[in-house]
Every structure is written in structure tokens, then in C-alpha cells.
A and B are shown apart, each in its own frame.
Chain A
Amino acid sequence: MSETAAEKPMFTCSSCGFECHFEYFGKKPPFSKSVVLLEDAYVIHDPFSPNSGHLTLGGQCCLCSTNICVAQTCSIFYTKRFCISCVEKNTEEFPDEIHKDLQRKDVSRS
């Protein structure tokens, strides 16, 4: 973990362009031993806590495999990670609660 920021690889969200160097990709972030992630995610150590812990930046859409951030306007997690455009293409697959969630976000976004 002694590499400098410049050497860390960059995570870029294909939807909103959010950029951040990530420290780990996978399910078991080494700096957060008591959790397991349910997806392969781009993770950094929790920068806002003095203790160990992780922060998920994003993951890969399980359908189109693009890198996507966890912002509610970019992706959702419903047992798997879906980018918003894939969710929109498959709306019928998701329960009503998810649709409501998405509508709420649309309202708040505009």
C-alpha cells in the first residue's frame, strides 16, 4: 500500500464521469476484513473514518459490463449491479419498489 496516488489505477464511471483512484477491485477488500461484497467492486479504504473500513466507488454492470459508479443516478444494486440504461431496457424484470426508486431519482435530478 506504499504506492503513491499517481501509481494507483483510476476508476471512471462511464455514466457520470466520476473519477477516483481505486485501491482494490473484487469482493474482499483487504482493509475491511469483516465484510464480503456481493459483487466485484471498485473500492477504496474509507477516507472519512479513522478506523479501517471500505468505501465502494462502483462496480461493473452485470449485463453490459461497463464500469459504473454507485450514485443512484448511475446504477442500482438489486442482488446484482445494473447500470441505469440496462435497468431501463429491462424495467419489467424489476419489482415496483425499484421503479418507484428510479422515478423518485428522476424527480430529484431534474
Chain B
Amino acid sequence: MDRDRKRSRHHFEKEKPSINERERCVVWEDHRSSLDELFFRNCDLIKRGSQEYKDFWLFLERYEAFHNKRHVEKNSREKDSKDRTSSKLGLPISYDRRYKINVALLSKDVRDVTGFSTTGTKKVYSSSDKKSGRHSRELSKEDFLEFKSILLFYIDFCQKQKFSKLVKLKKDQANLPISHFREQIVNAVGNNQAVIIAGDTGCGKSTQVPQYLLHAGFSQIACTQPRRIACISLAKRVGYETLNEYGSQVAYQIRFESSKTLGTRILFLTEGLLLRQLTTDPTLSQYSVIVVDEVHERHIHGDFLLGVLRGLLQARADLKLVLMSATINISLFSGYFTGAPVIQIPGRLYPIEVRYQPPKVEFSSSSRRSERLDPTPYVRIMQLIDHKYPSDERGDVLMFLSGMAEITAVVNAAKEYAQQSRRWIILALHSSLSVDEQDKVFDVAPEGVRKCVVSTNIAETSITIDGIRFIVDSGKVKEMSFDTEAKMQRLREFWISQASAEQRKGRAGRTGPGVCFRLYSENDYQAFSQYTTPEIQLVPLDSIILQMVALGINRIREFPFIEPPPASNVENSIHTLKQQGALTDDEILTPIGQMLAQLPVDVVIGKVLLIGSVFHVIEPVMIIAAALSVQSPFTQKMGYDSVVASLRQPLESDHGDLFTLLNAYDEWLQVKSHGSSSRQWCKRRGLEEQRFYEMSKLKRQFELLLRDHHLLDPEGRDEDEDERDREKDKRRELKRLKRDHRKTARKTKMLKLDEDELSGGEEQQEEETKTDIRDLEFKLTHDLDKLEAGSTARRSFTLRDINLLKIILCSGLYPNLALPDENNTNKRDSEQLFHSKSKQFLQVLPTSVFANRPQLLQLTDTSVKYQLLTYVSLLETSKPFLVNAMRVPALQTLLLFAHSLDTNGDLTRFVVDCWLEISLPDNATGQKVVSAVQQLRVTWARLLKLRFEEMKDIPERTSATRRNKELDLESHLANKLSEFLDSDVSYSLRRLLPSESRYLYLGPLRQTQNDREFKDAFPFAGGSEPHPTKGGVRVNEYLTYNCLQDTVMAEAASAAAQYIAKHWRCEKCGQKMLVTVLERLQHQEECQHEEPVDPNDSAGAEQSQTTDKSAAVDSSIERLRKPHFCNTCQTQFSFTSTEILKHKKSHAAASTT
């Protein structure tokens, strides 16, 4: 080591004079390529192309400029004291900057070059300089040495800079209020299983607590966040603060991506994701500490997580739990985790002055109910700020409004004022803006101009804007609640809670003292509820309950939520889950439910995916399912643009919004695969490209999940080694890209005073040339050729394909159906009305294709084909709307998916789920339709069973015979379905009036029917029994025969039909028999449930079966007859059960007349 030092010293002394003697006329830039090869190779400290490299060349420029000035003076002084050393310490008296540098370069090239220098050869320096041969001067040894020392100065400069950065980082950490509690926190976590940390914004809990725990020796720390975006930014921040910004010690994991590796110690993840991990790791054994942040926000996943973790603490004595909350309602949490110590951290907010300024009530207001918000008070506050605060005192304004319409009203008025005053830049902020537009709120206003951000409550917690000094709080919020009766989301305006008002206020005091204008009175404030309603009270519980069951939680209704949801909501969700086939009647998870619980999407969408996988049309289904699980790519720009509208039009599908989403994604793929800029393409159409990327990632995730469960064919052939290598390369490349990208993350820009909504061409161009990291990532992670092929294939979908796709979508969406109003034809486009079972007078959203082309749903004169709209959800804002609608053929959809189908005696009337009535022209049509439906539904059920229920025997699944059996059944069913969809049945369809419900059903018999007797009456129709409330006979779980009260006119015919036995030959088993309608239905039901006739089986088996059957049938009518004594007419009969019903009915009818 000592030798090293001597050697370096030696270098200094040798090199020094040469620099000064030389003329300074080297233009380094001209020799860049040769210098690059000497100093900036991959093994060197500074690598060519890196940020440091770029910075060095800038440094070099400045260095040269500076030193050319001081050169002469320095030159003369240094000469005389050369080579002398100080007496005591032996330090060189002659000063050289290089003595102050504690580092020497040690690269191969440097040694080579110094070796050459003794021989006097100069070739090395110029050898690689051929390209720039026209330059007059080659680099001399002195030049080279000077360059080297400048490089050293730069390295030293960087070291100093980075060290101060490090010192500042440590100082900032120490200055956080929470730093005084470090030991207390670490001790509390060491000594208790659960600890509560309460601190307000700015105390540093989210960033510091995980670090404290890490440094105290805890490892495998999971930190949950309610929001995905926070996971990413916190992982980045904590990584930086733990000096591990570029490592993976601190990582995040969200729905689409993860930076986690084996070396990860702190993982930021969403609450929802941690819950999902419970399914594969029930005790969360991969973590030793779980930090649940922002528990006061009370998101549904957070609440559920707390319940689960409370139980887990008992199961795992080694588990540590840290709850972090704002100083809101702490007693609720400490009551829930009894014994958990509470550590309260003071916040670091500057004082904020609160001014209550309720707007004066103006009675003369012209609007009837003043539905529109009056923006005047908001503009007045801007004026007040202009008057009262000098414009050179910085500080921006943040306004909280309840919703989009309110924001638009205020933005428009404020812009008008801004144009006059020229002191304001107005920006809107809400979640339906594109990401780029949202990012604008982080830009800074020029000197003397204030930024005014008009926002929804998104800026209350999710988005933090720096530099806000003034808050204007409307006191209102639009909140989504779920109406379990109407099964509808409802967006309504409410007063905010006190907690929320305080949170809004606090946004002004983050960087300095602030002012909060409250546009309500102090009395109003006092009347506000204390806390915001927790999400669990407001949203459908389907997913969470499914997850609870999947996690093996036995008593769902008694789950110890911190504040339990309404019992009726729980019951409703359990009912829905049963309807979707996720739960059995005994509330046990079905195989389908098991799958649904693992899909990271809504139950309805998950169901669609599963059915799609059964029918091998999974690609389009996955795309649609993904589209429905992310925010819509169709942004709503303020002031709707006609150009955008016309460009969007080719994407619109006349089948409905679901197909429009599919089209948009497919077109996007096409644009990408043709090498055009998809970013531009999206921008012109007002599409948010980010959503397409999200869809792609989600679709990929679906693929993996379905494949894991053998619901999707394995991917291609097994990749060979080459392919694997290529994969590895791709991944490495992607990692590098992402790393580079992080450095060039969005920089805050300066806002312009007269900036138009459509930003100038200049900016757009700049954006265009910038490498599109998302595009690269997409191309690296997806097989674009394959995707493009799929997209092209979908372009040539036939109507048949589309219809099958619709049926698959319906299987999940049912019963989300709405019927067009009878009078729609006479109404204007914007007034088209629809009715669902639970909610009347619905409209389609103005962006839907059906809003602009209502004729798509109208009945044509030539062939009457009723259509219904299926929808993904209902949303009530000013009016109730259908969200994501799609048109489907009415008869077929209803009969295929109805939970209950009730018929009259001659099968000419069907009542579907007690709200729609289908009338068919005659009994023959009825017979045909029912027969088809029975067959299809049985086959459908059998296929599902084959796919899901027997999935557990995986080895058997993979066997060829098994697969072939499935495929045969599937293609058989697909064909039959298409046939059924194409079938041209004339019928009429109407909604039942509420008043009709009284006379709808025959109802149970007056006299209690002897059950045993009844069952005996149907020896061969095992499941058939009278319906307990409707009357008639239950043929299977959905079909109830002859329970409808016919109108007097129709009654005679219907009544007659009931008894008429006709010759009939069963298509399935080939039997001929003489049967009544009921007997025929029953036979069909039974026959369909038989194993399908295997053509390979010996004919003998079939024969014997047939003979058995016909023997049974021949005598069936007689055997159905049983002695029956009627109490009313005191007569002994020999009746079938149906005849008994009929007979009793005749008495009932007689007694009423």
C-alpha cells in the first residue's frame, strides 16, 4: 500500500511541469472518440454514455473556461517552489490541486500509456484518432496527462458533491419529527406484537418507520399502502434514504409489476395484494413484520386486512404488526388491538389560518333548484388573494370541488378572470384526466403568477402538490355508494367529514404558513360528521366475501371487522355469489369460486374469463375483461372535441361498448405493429395510452393464472435454450431501460401564462423524439407478431363469432340486463330509456354507441327481433346510467341464463326471473324452444363440470382422451349455441307490470299437498315436485312448468294442451312415446342428464338402455295415475298429479265466481 502512494506521488511530480509548459489550444471535443477509448470504457469508473459521463464533458467545458483565465498567474507562481517539502510533515510546499485528491485512476489503459511515456513514443495517444484525422494536432503525452488530472478533479468534485448529498440526507432524516421517537418505536415493536403509530402529514412515519425497523435488525418487512402509486414512490424514496436506490433491498410489488428480489428486506405493496398472498401463504410466513400504513383511511381492503391480521397475531407469536395512522380516531384502533401501545408523533405543519366564508344565499337566483354550482365565490377568493397578498409572495391555490361538472364551472369562470388579471394559471385535476394532464399540476407557475388547481378530493390524500398556500374548500364531496336493492352505484354529493375538512386544510401548511377558506359556516362544520364513512359501508362486498370464503373463514357473518358492514349487504353479496355459481347453497366454495377468488378482478369479470376459457375464445374475452378492470382509455376532455369524436368513430362497434373497447385495443395493436407512433395515435383520439399498457399487463396476468390452472393450453412448444437465452437478454435489456428511464423521469416544467388546452406543437415534438419507455417495455415483454395476428383475426370476426362472444360475456354479466322502453322509437336520441329488473328509467352514457345510434336497438318491421342491453354496472349521477352496455338477442339470452323460467301449460308463455314475459305463437314453437334450451343448459353445465369440478385430477386432465372428450363437447355446444342464436323464432317480449304480480302464478294449492303422494306420482321424473310458492311443477332448478295463470281467453287452450298427449320421439334417445307436455319436459330433462351417447360404445348397450326406457314409458301414463279422493266434491278419482292440480283449480275457480 505504501508503494502505491509513493508511486502516485511520483506521478504527480513528473507530470506537473509539462502541463504548464504546454500551449493551451487543445479542443478536447475533437478527440472525444480516442479519449473515450482510453478513459471511459466499461471497466472504468465513468462509463461512456452514462449520466456521469455526460456531466463530465460539461464539467470539462466549464473547467477549461475557468482555467484559461487564471492560467498565467498560476503558471509563474508554481515554478519557484517546485519540489520542496515542508520540514516536519514532509508535505510539498509547492501547492498543486492534485495533492488534495485522495484517489488515483487505475485502469489498464492508464498503465499502458504511462509505460509508453518513458520511451517517448506518442503513438498511443493518436492511434485511435484516424477518424478525426483532419484535426491539425494530435494529443501529446502532456495533453493526455492533463486530461487525466481534469478527470481526477471531476471525480473529486463528484465525491464532494455526493458526500454533501449524503450529509443532507442524514440531516433531513434527523430533522423529521419522528426521529426523536426512533428508539421508542424500535423498543415498542421489540416488546409488543402490535404497535400503533399515530402521526400527521409530514411527520415522516411512512418513510422512516420501515428504515428504523430495518436498522434495528428486523428483516422481511412488508409495508402496505392503500394506493399503488404510493408503493412505487415510497420504495424509491426509502431505497434512496437507505442508500440503496439502485439495489433491491427496498422494493415494491403492485398488481402489474414488482421490483422484488431475494435480497429484498422492505417490500411496499398494496393492501389488496397482501390479502391475495394469504391464499398461497395463509400465515404470511414470508414476512416477519407487517406495517399497515394509512389505516385511518379505512379502505375496504385495509379493514379486512386488519381483521385477518388480528387473528394472525394469535397464530404467529413471532409476527410483528405496526399500524400507522393519522391522528384520527386512534381510540378505534387501540380498542381493536387491545394492549397495543400508541406512539403519537407531532406533525410538522405550519400554522394555517381558517376563514369561514359561507356564500350568501341569493334568493333571486334564476335556476329552479340551483343544480349548477355558482362559481362566483371561488373567483371572489382569487380576487381577494390578488388584493391582499403581493404577487411576489409565492404560493399557489388549491380548490376542492365535489365533481367534474363543478370543476368545469369553476375552471371556466376562473379562466375568464385569469385572462383579465394575467396573474393566474388555472388547472383542473380529477381522475378521468390523462396522466400527462394530471402531471401538469406539478409544474410551476412563472414569477408573479399563481397556479390555481381546481380538484376533486383526489388532492386530499392521493396527490400531493407542493407550494400550496391557499385552500378553498367547498365542503362537498361526491361519494360513490352502493344501492344493494337496485344493485347500482350511486354518485352523490355530500358534506364532507370534519376529518376530511382538516385534511384539506392541512394541504396548505406543508411548506409554509397557509390560509384555508371554507365556503361554509362554522356551524356547518360543527354539524359535519366526525369521520368519513368507511368504504366497507359503501361498496358491494362480493369480492371481499368471496375472498373470505376462499381463505377458509368459516363464519363470514361474524367476521370481527373493526366496524362491520350492514348485515343486509353481506346477505346480498352471498346471494350474488351463489347466483354466479361461486358458492354452493351451503355457502361452500365451488371450484369456479376457487378460481374466481384468485383472479384479481371483480367476480362478474372473473366469471366471464372462466367461461371464455371453456369455449376457447379466450383472447378477446381476456382483452375485454382487462379493459373492464382498468380505467377506461377513453378520456373525457373538457369541451368535447368534434375532431376527437370523428377519429374515435371508426373504433365504435355497433354491438356496444364492450366491443368498442376490444376494437380500440386491437387498433392500437395494429398501429404498434406497423411501427407508427401509438402515442400520437392515442393522443389524437383522446385515448389514454397508459390504459392499453395496463390492459396488456393484466391480460398477461390472466394468461398466467389460467394456464396455472390448466384452463388455457400450454404456451407453444417448450422453449429451447436459445429462446431462453433470448428471454434472458430481453429481461436484462428491460432492466437497463428502466434504470435509465428512472433518471430521466418527468421533470417539472414551467407553466405558460397563455397556454392553450392543446399544448403547442413544440412540446409535442419534443415528446415524440423522447424514447417511449413504455413502448419499448411492451415490445420486449410481448410477442407483437402474435398479438397482431390475433388482432387481425378479430377484424374478420363473423356475426356468429360475435354472437358466441356475446353469450360468453352474458354468462358473467347476467342478470345485468335492461329492456328498451316501448316508446323509445318516438323519443329523441338523448331520451332513450331502459329498464332493468331492479331499476327503471335508465339511460345509456352519452359516450355509448347506443346514445348516438338508438336505431340499433329498435325493432325493425320486417322481422321482430327484440334486443336487450347487458351492462357491467349501473351508475347514478344526475340520472341513472348503464355503464358499458352491449346489445344481445333477447329470447336466447333470457332463456339461456334465466335463474327462473316459468311457463304456462302449453308453453306459449314464459316468465323470466319474474319480470319479463315472452309470448310464443303456439305450442309447437314453445316445445321446440324449451327443448333446445334444456339441451343447451345441460350440455353447458356438463362442460363446466368437466372443466372445473374434476380439475383436481390433473394427470387425468392432461390425458388425451379426456381432452378430446372436452373438445368434442365444447365444439358440439358451440355449434348448438350458434344454431340456437340463429334460430328465427317469432315472439313478443314485455315487462310485467307490478300490478300483474298478484295474478301471475297459480300459487300453491289451497289444501296442503301430500308430498309423499306427489312424489309417488312421478316415478320417473326424480327431481320434479310442486313449486312451493308458484304452483306448477319444478322440472329442474330453473324451469317450472304450468305455474302461470293464463288469461281467461288463453286458459281454455292452455288447459287443454296440458292434457293432450301427443306422439313424440325424443331426439336424444330415439324413443317414441305418447306424452303430455309435462311428461315430455320431464323426459327431456332426464334424458339430457344421461351421459352423452358415445358413438364408440357398443350398440348393444344403447339398445338395452332404449328397451328399458320404452318399457317404462309405455306404461308411464297409467302409472302416473293414482287414486285421489277429492274432499270438495267427495269423489274418488284416478288422477296424475297434474290432473289433481287442475281439478283443484276448477274448484277454486268455481268458488270465486
Report which A residues bind B (CB closer than 8 A).
2, 4-6, 18-20, 27, 32-41, 44, 46-51, 53, 55-57, 59, 63, 69-72, 76-81, 90, 92-98
Known: A35-B45, A56-B159, A71-B167. A79 touches B107 (CB 8 A): no
Instruction: Decide: A55 and B102 in contact? CB cutoff 8 A.
Output: no
10 nearest interchain CB pairs? Answer: A47-B243, A95-B95, A6-B217, A97-B95, A93-B86, A50-B246, A36-B106, A77-B102, A93-B89, A34-B107
B219, CB-defined interface residue at 8 Å: yes
Instruction: Decide: B217 and A27 in contact? CB cutoff 8 A.
Output: no
Give Cα A70–Cα B95 distance, bound, in whole angstroms. 20
**A-side contacts of B246, CB under 8 Å:** 47, 49-50
30 inter-chain pairs at a CB distance below 8 angstroms, sorted by A residue, are A4-B219, A6-B215, A6-B216, A6-B217, A20-B243, A32-B45, A37-B103, A38-B4, A38-B103, A39-B102, A41-B102, A47-B245, A49-B51, A49-B246, A50-B739, A55-B159, A55-B162, A55-B163, A56-B102, A69-B163, A71-B163, A71-B167, A78-B100, A79-B99, A80-B89, A90-B88, A92-B86, A93-B91, A94-B91, A95-B95
Give Cα A14–Cα B440 distance, bound, in whole angstroms. 47
**A-side contacts of B88, CB under 8 Å:** 90, 93
Known: A35-B104, A49-B246. A90 touches B45 (CB 8 A): no
B1123, CB-defined interface residue at 8 Å: no
Give Cα A37–Cα B249 distance, bound, in whole angstroms. 28
**A-side contacts of B165, CB under 8 Å:** 48
Give Cα A48–Cα B5 distance, bound, in whole angstroms. 28
**A-side contacts of B47, CB under 8 Å:** 51
Q: Which residue of A lies closest to B152 (CB)?
A: A35
Instruction: Decide: B242 and A5 in contact? CB cutoff 8 A.
Output: yes
Instruction: Decide: B243 and A6 in contact? CB cutoff 8 A.
Output: no
Q: Mark interface residues in B77-111 (1 if CB within 8 Å of A CB, else 0).
A: 00001000011110111110001111111110000
A25 shortest CB reach to chain B, Å? 12
Cβ-neighbour of B263 out of A2, A69, A78 (below 8 A): A2
B244, CB-defined interface residue at 8 Å: yes
Interface SS of chain A: helix, strand, loop or mixed?
Answer: loop
Cβ-neighbour of B99 out of A4, A6, A41, A78 (below 8 A): A78
**A-side contacts of B93, CB under 8 Å:** 95
Instruction: Decide: B166 and A47 in contact? CB cutoff 8 A.
Output: yes
Give Cα A39–Cα B293 distance, bound, in whole angstroms. 45
Please give 4 more A-B residue pairs, beta carbons under 8 A apart, in addition to A19-B170, A48-B245, A55-B166.
A5-B215, A5-B249, A38-B8, A47-B244
**A-side contacts of B104, CB under 8 Å:** 35-38
Instruction: Decide: A34 and B102 in contact? CB cutoff 8 A.
Output: no
**B-side contacts of A38, CB under 8 Å:** 4-5, 8, 101-104
Instruction: Decide: B163 and A79 in contact? CB cutoff 8 A.
Output: no
Q: Mark interface residues in B209-238 (1 if CB within 8 Å of A CB, else 0).
A: 000001111010000000000000000000
**B-side contacts of A97, CB under 8 Å:** 95
**A-side contacts of B956, CB under 8 Å:** none
**B-side contacts of A51, CB under 8 Å:** 47, 50, 52
Instruction: Decide: B217 and A4 in contact? CB cutoff 8 A.
Output: yes
Instruction: Decide: B214 and A6 in contact? CB cutoff 8 A.
Output: yes
B287 shortest CB reach to chain A, Å? 15
Instruction: Decide: A35 and B163 in contact? CB cutoff 8 A.
Output: no
Give Cα A32–Cα B44 distance, bound, in whole angstroms. 9
B963, CB-defined interface residue at 8 Å: no
Instruction: Decide: A49 and B91 in contact? CB cutoff 8 A.
Output: no
A109 shortest CB reach to chain B, Å? 14
Give Cα A5–Cα B217 distance, bound, in whole angstroms. 8
**B-side contacts of A39, CB under 8 Å:** 102
**A-side contacts of B95, CB under 8 Å:** 95-98
Instruction: Decide: A53 and B45 in contact? CB cutoff 8 A.
Output: yes
Give Cα A35–Cα B88 distance, bound, in whole angstroms. 30
Q: Which residue of A lies closest to B50 (CB)?
A: A51
B1150, CB-defined interface residue at 8 Å: no
Instruction: Decide: A46 and B162 in contact? CB cutoff 8 A.
Output: yes
Give Cα A32–Cα B1 distance, bound, in whole angstroms. 17
Give Cα A48–Cα B55 distance, bound, in whole angstroms. 14
Q: Which residue of B lies closest to A70 (CB)?
A: B163
Instruction: Decide: B159 and A34 in contact? CB cutoff 8 A.
Output: no
Q: Number of B interface residues at 8 Å Cβ cutoff, please give it.
A: 57
B43, CB-defined interface residue at 8 Å: yes
Give Cα A49–Cα B436 distance, bound, in whole angstroms. 27
A59 shortest CB reach to chain B, Å? 7
B9, CB-defined interface residue at 8 Å: yes
Known: A38-B8, A38-B104, A78-B91. A44 touches B243 (CB 8 A): yes
Instruction: Decide: B244 and A33 in contact? CB cutoff 8 A.
Output: no
Give Cα A4–Cα B211 distance, bound, in whole angstroms. 12
Give Cα A5–Cα B966 distance, bound, in whole angstroms. 56
**A-side contacts of B739, CB under 8 Å:** 50
Give Cα A56–Cα B160 distance, bound, in whole angstroms. 9
**B-side contacts of A46, CB under 8 Å:** 162
Cβ-neighbour of B102 out of A18, A37, A47, A49 (below 8 A): A37
Instruction: Decide: A20 and B166 in contact? CB cutoff 8 A.
Output: yes
Instruction: Decide: B170 and A35 in contact? CB cutoff 8 A.
Output: no
Give Cα A87–Cα B1030 distance, bound, in whole angstroms. 102
Q: Which residue of B lies closest to A100 (CB)?
A: B95
Instruction: Decide: B103 and A36 in contact? CB cutoff 8 A.
Output: yes
**A-side contacts of B105, CB under 8 Å:** 34-35
B339 shortest CB reach to chain A, Å? 27
**A-side contacts of B320, CB under 8 Å:** none
**A-side contacts of B998, CB under 8 Å:** none
Give Cα A20–Cα B51 distance, bound, in whole angstroms. 26
Known: A56-B102, A70-B163, A76-B100. A34 touches B89 (CB 8 A): no
B717, CB-defined interface residue at 8 Å: no
Q: Which residue of A lies closest to B9 (CB)?
A: A79
A100 shortest CB reach to chain B, Å? 10
Give Cα A39–Cα B8 distance, bound, in whole angstroms. 11
**A-side contacts of B87, CB under 8 Å:** 93
Instruction: Decide: B743 and A50 in contact? CB cutoff 8 A.
Output: yes
Cβ-neighbour of A27 out of B4, B91, B94, B219 (below 8 A): B4
Give Cα A62–Cα B242 distance, bound, in whole angstroms. 30
**A-side contacts of B162, CB under 8 Å:** 46-48, 55
Query: Most chain-B CB neighbours within 10 Å: which of A18, A40, A53, A59?
Result: A53
B265, CB-defined interface residue at 8 Å: yes
**B-side contacts of A6, CB under 8 Å:** 214-217
Give Cα A41–Cα B5 distance, bound, in whole angstroms. 13
Tell me which residues from 150 to 187 in chain B have a Cβ below 8 Å from any Cβ of chain A: 155, 159-160, 162-167, 170
B357 shortest CB reach to chain A, Å? 47
Known: A19-B170, A47-B243. A70 touches B216 (CB 8 A): no
Q: Which residue of B lies closest to A33 (CB)?
A: B43
Instruction: Decide: A4 and B265 in contact? CB cutoff 8 A.
Output: yes
Q: Which residue of A lies closest to B169 (CB)?
A: A47
Q: Which residue of A lies closest to B8 (CB)?
A: A38
Give Cα A50–Cα B102 distance, bound, in whole angstroms. 23
**A-side contacts of B240, CB under 8 Å:** 47
**B-side contacts of A70, CB under 8 Å:** 159-160, 163
Give Cα A10–Cα B155 distance, bound, in whole angstroms. 25
Give Cα A59–Cα B92 distance, bound, in whole angstroms. 21
Give Cα A41–Cα B102 distance, bound, in whole angstroms. 9
Give Cα A46–Cα B81 distance, bound, in whole angstroms. 37
Q: Which residue of A lies closest to B43 (CB)?
A: A34
**A-side contacts of B263, CB under 8 Å:** 2
Q: Which residue of A lies closest to B161 (CB)?
A: A48
Known: A19-B170, A46-B162, A98-B95. A34 touches B216 (CB 8 A): no
Q: Mark interface residues in B621-647 (1 if CB within 8 Å of A CB, else 0).
A: 000000000000000000000000000
Give Cα A79–Cα B13 distance, bound, in whole angstroms. 12
**B-side contacts of A92, CB under 8 Å:** 86
Give Cα A63–Cα B89 distance, bound, in whole angstroms. 9
**A-side contacts of B91, CB under 8 Å:** 78-80, 93-95
**A-side contacts of B217, CB under 8 Å:** 4, 6
